[in-house]
A and B are shown apart, each in its own frame.
Chain A
Amino acid sequence: DAGITQSPRHKVTETGTPVTLRCHQTENHRYMYWYRQDPGHGLRLIHYSYGVKDTDKGEVSDGYSVSRSKTEDFLLTLESATSSQTSVYFCAISASGLGDEKLFFGSGTQLSVL
């Protein structure tokens, strides 16, 4: 998957606990994204980053925070997980962030919040 590694691949956690998902890329791309995918909703953008320490919100950012301290790593944190955050989370990267540029996706993290 184009030098993108997501970890963990699967996680089960309890409501109210903090959870951090990691995305690591080896492509040196400037833009990194976190999406969630749910039946009936498709892929929805949570947060994205356009450089080290530069991040912005997507369409479903409530309850999530992100950090990017290095070009290659983009972390997604659920401060206090809720059952509505049970989903498959995908990290994606792109070089320029322009609308005519394709995204490369990781293999996803299946998160279950019980």
Chain B
Amino acid sequence: SQKIEQNSEALNIQEGKTATLTCNYTNYSPAYLQWYRQDPGRGPVFLLLIRENEKEKRKERLKVTFDTTLKQSLFHITASQPADSATYLCALESNTGKLIFGQGTTLQVKP
């Protein structure tokens, strides 16, 4: 069955460092992959979309990579700030055309 895995353990880093979050998937061949941010008590908010023919996508301090051979996406936040603390979700287009989400990884940036 289709499966998306994100590290369930929280990622704790120091302010100013680069945070790297991982999204792995199996039994998929998605054409697109999306990343969302979710703050406590709020709904997810879209951040970035990357297509299968794009190796890398950037938006300000955010960078996403998409390796279809490894079946993995990496999400990077450079020069991290305490305000970046949140849960980050990856989502893939399933075989039915609808988005399927990973469990999310919580990032904690300490000042």
Contacts and interface: CB of A to CB of B under 8 A. Distances in A.
A43 B46 contact: no
Interface string B37-55: 0000111111001010000
Given A42-B101, A45-B98, A102 B43 contact: no
B98 A48 contact: yes
Given A40-B103, A43-B101, A100 B31 contact: yes
Contact of A108 (B8, B31, B43, B91): B43
Contacts, number: 60
A3 interface: no
Residue from B43, B44, B51 whose CB has the most chain A CB atoms within 10 Å: B43
A92 B91 CA distance: 14
Given A43-B101, A45-B98, A58-B98, A102 B46 contact: yes
Contacts of A40: 8, 103
Given A1-B42, A100-B93, A104-B46, 16 more contacts: A1-B43, A4-B43, A40-B8, A42-B102, A43-B44, A44-B101, A45-B98, A92-B43, A98-B97, A99-B31, A99-B97, A102-B34, A102-B46, A102-B49, A105-B44, A105-B45
Interface of B: 4, 8, 30-32, 34, 41-46, 49, 51, 89, 91, 93, 97-104
Interface of A: 1, 4, 33, 35, 40-45, 48, 58-59, 90, 92, 97-100, 102-108
